[in-house]
Structure 1
Amino acid sequence: MYSIKLIPKEHIKVVLPLLKELNPKITLVILEKRLTEMILSGYECIGVYRKSKLIGVSGIWFLTKLYVGKHIEPDNVYILPEYQGKGIGNLLMNWIFEYAKSKNCIASELNCYTGNEEGQKFWEKQGYDLIAYHYQKKL
């Protein structure tokens, strides 16, 4: 019923409509520019499809940090509202975890907005622990 696959870099712009829904205050032009820059830094995108329709997306980063080692960071995870609550997020995360293992990752880390209570519950159900706060300063 659903398929999950890595989106080839040459087709990466297919994720922009979903990224726009996730980031409604950011213009499509800025999202496209940032996505292009992110791809150059190793960003990859995973798509969830129902038949040929893209219904979900997650970006991923592969990073190595002193305190955790090599890990994967899911980023900009989004499932269209009409498909939420159907277990698709679980399928997507299982795919991501298996992909991470194939790349010799030993952990997964991510950021979740403090006001996103549903997201926090989802990540906790996925086995994530709250270990830090993420701070930001605009320059």
Structure 2
Amino acid sequence: MNLGVGKLKKVDFIVAFVVMIIAFAGMGAMRTGGESSSQKHAEIWTEGQLYRRVDIKEGYSEKIKIENEHGYNVVYVHDRGVEVTEADCKDGICVDMGFIENDGQIIACLPHKLYVKIVSDIENNEVDAISQ
């Protein structure tokens, strides 16, 4: 007795095709969600105080030297992101952390009491690509 199990009908292919289209459209929306409409900034904090807030935009680059009683760091803003390129701390972890470009990423230099954080203008109550 054959109940038609294993045989695909034209409707099955159409349903599978529609599901795939919806899935790919959703993935595309997640990849672009919020990025184009928000402005990113680098916040440079030292000894618990906001030292400077720098707009991160296409074509902009700047090297910022931050000095305090603990030592110095050079923060390089470029290519829509930030990195610490020089520091006279003993461990050099802040330099090794590399380039950051996404909202919420942080570079920290504990010996110099400095950290750099990427922030964006997206309101906290808005839906972002991760929470969709």
The TM-score range, normalised by the shorter chain, is under 0.3
- Per the normalisation by structure 2, the TM-score is 0.24
Larger radius of gyration: 2
Higher relative contact order, chain-length normalized (CA < 8 Å, sep 6+): 2
